[in-house]
Structure 1
Amino acid sequence: MANMKDVAKHAGVSVATVSNVISGKKFVSPELKSAVLESINALQYRPSKIARSLKIRKSFLVGLLVPDITNPYFAEIARGVESIALDHDYQMFLCNSDGKSYREEETLISFLGHGVDGVINVAPRMEEGLLADLSDGMPMVILDRHLTIENPLIDVIYTNNFKGSAQLARHLLDKGHRRFACIAGPRDVPSAVRRLQGFCSELERDGIREGDIRIYYGGFKYEDGFKIMKQQILKLKNRPTAVFAGNDMMAWGAIEAAKQHGLKIPIDISIAGFDNVLYSSLVIPAMTTVNQPKYEAGRAAMKLLLEKIMKKQSGEDVHTRKMELDSQLIVRESTEI
């Protein structure tokens, strides 16, 4: 197997020049760079990542922690993270917390033990102070949750959930709906709380009374939406004409329950979700929802993390950065008569 010395000899350059071409840290003339790259290809040389990591004190590993790996929303985020990670020769550990704070704590400790260079933590549920303590000097990006604490090694990316759900409420009001049900996400998930607040706030601004807004809580899963719709909402004597589910998974479950009950959507009842995952446009009828830039959010999170890793390694000052992403109402057949 070829090594760096073999490449240098084949290209007629020094080992230092080969190293500079591979690392990209120092200028190498186009002619020499071309010669080195041709020799690398000819000899099929592959730099040792282990040796490189020891030399520059990087593991080239990042941890990605999500609440539910089966939810397409988190899958799209993971794809975005990985697209940037691979461009920078990083590998990704993907772990699932099942939405449990103790699993988040265990996973972060495990990431530290494996020597990852940084972590992207998506929609964590653990208490803010503990989250900051567990970073333990490790660069981290929190995605899909707004934090009030300031930690120079932690950056935050979140979507304007309040605005998105308020836009959806306005759409339903404009369609003439006056009785509503909400299948909200877990009470301890900040993004779920903001979605419920945005939706109800817009309804109340339009004069909808509290008694005309039925609120139920689920766990962001398909079966939650199906069960709540079938066992509670559809059994109401004065049934709501519009249902907002806190994510597309629960909205899909609600749609299927309504269809099993013999209701026509949106003629008998309108149903909408939040996230705009891939299947939201494929269910029948196609689902009205609020788009979040999931893939783009994953890419942005990885870019922020890489910048923080490099600054920490070089000893530069770091500070908390907060990035708010916009949401967009997507109107489809499930609410559009």
Structure 2
Amino acid sequence: MSIKVPSVKDVAKLAGVSVATVSNVISEQKYVSPELTVRVNNAIKELNYRPSKIARSLKGMKTYQIGLMIPDITNPYFAELARGAESIALKKGYQVLLCNTDGDSAREEKARIAFEENRVDGIINVAPRMKTEKLLAFNHVPTVIVDRPLSVEQSKFGVVFADNSKGACQLAKHLFEKGHRRFACLTAPYDDIPSVKHRINGFKKYLIENGIDDEDILFLNGKLRYKSGYELMNELLKIKNRPTAVFACSDIMAWGALEAAKKAHLNIPKDIAIAGFDNIYYSEILDPTLTTINQPKSETGEIAMQMLLDRLNKSNNRKIIRTHSVILDTELIIRGST
């Protein structure tokens, strides 16, 4: 004996409303009174009704899928961002397809093409590494760019990013006021990662404006990885008159630098101060705990997804973000490493 799967008609009958009302409650595309919404939701729960995504897709020419591209799933910053984005998508009946590009522009381009071929409704591209002109050429699917500033004039994309320059200025001020006068920046290629460029520029700007000479700010170029931070710190420790304060452009780099300094039996922060950027979850459990710049990671993902879904659905919900560009604030978190 087969079990009858409840239909939208069954829900409408139990709730005492029309099929159209049930559809509007599920899709949230049109206003339904709170009273009717409660009745429909109660009926859905009682019948254990599950809307057919295939039927919705055929009817509305939508797949209810969002493509999310991130450069490094092992980095807790991106993991928290992705979780925030997914939480909003699930509430609105969308599924997130995740692609890890490993910070490679060629893989990023292939992922973008694959998303388009699978007819995702929209794309969130986090910290893209493609050249600007190529990035802007991929404009066939509604897109929100995260963690990479693009001017309104450049693109029709939605853009969400943190004020990286301000955060780095805050950190430079903190280190300067602690008495440091020789600095090192553990960084990554500027051209590939504009957010890193803003961090370095903000850090350097504050120091120069406060009398620090260029030769007292050393730059060591690597990758935003633990191993790179470890190796760059070992290079730094070979310098005779080495800097007394180190700014790593990500917490993961800072972690590597921290471990290298500890292995060299340096006292942190007495012998050398180390700070990062991102405030990922384990920065407060390192030994010593890591001074860093907090970015609203989960909130960034939520805002990006809200912005994208608003573009897709043209919602009348005023709580949904409609702005073309959102710049999020940063906060200095002072801990034991400085």
TM-score, normalising length from structure 1? Answer: 0.91
1:3 Cα deviation after fit: 1.6
1:103 alignment partner in structure 2 = 107
1:1-337 aligned within 5 A: 1-26=5-30, 33-136=37-140, 138-148=141-151, 150=153, 153-188=156-191, 189-230=193-234, 232-311=235-314, 321-335=324-338
* Contact 1:65-1:122 within 8 A present in 2 as well: yes
Aligned length: 327
| SS of match in other structure, 1:235 | coil
* Contact 2:152-2:325 within 8 A present in 1 as well: no
* Contact 1:154-1:320 within 8 A present in 2 as well: no
CA RMSD of aligned residues (A): 2.0
Query: Residues 253, 20 of structure 1: CA spacing in aligned structure 2 closer, same or farther, 3 A cutoff?
Result: closer
* Contact 1:185-1:247 within 8 A present in 2 as well: no
Give 5+ residue unaligned stretches, structure 1: 313-318
* Contact 1:182-1:215 within 8 A present in 2 as well: yes
1:30 Cα deviation after fit: 5.8
Deviations 1:73-119 (A, max 9, x none): 10111011011111101110111111111111111101101111111
Deviations 1:109-160 (A, max 9, x none): 0110111111111111111221121122x11111111113636641111111
| SS of match in other structure, 1:59 | coil
- Sequence identity, in percent? 55
2:318 alignment partner in structure 1 = none
More displaced stretch, 64-73 vs 198-207: 198-207
Distance 1:298 1:187 in 2: 24
2:319 alignment partner in structure 1 = none
Give 5+ residue unaligned stretches, structure 2: 316-321
- The letter for the 1-side match of 2:252 is M
Query: Residues 85, 270 of structure 1: CA spacing in aligned structure 2 closer, same or farther, 3 A cutoff?
Result: same
TM-score, normalising length from structure 2? Answer: 0.91
Distance 1:159 1:29 in 2: 38
Query: Residues 64, 45 of structure 1: CA spacing in aligned structure 2 closer, same or farther, 3 A cutoff?
Result: same
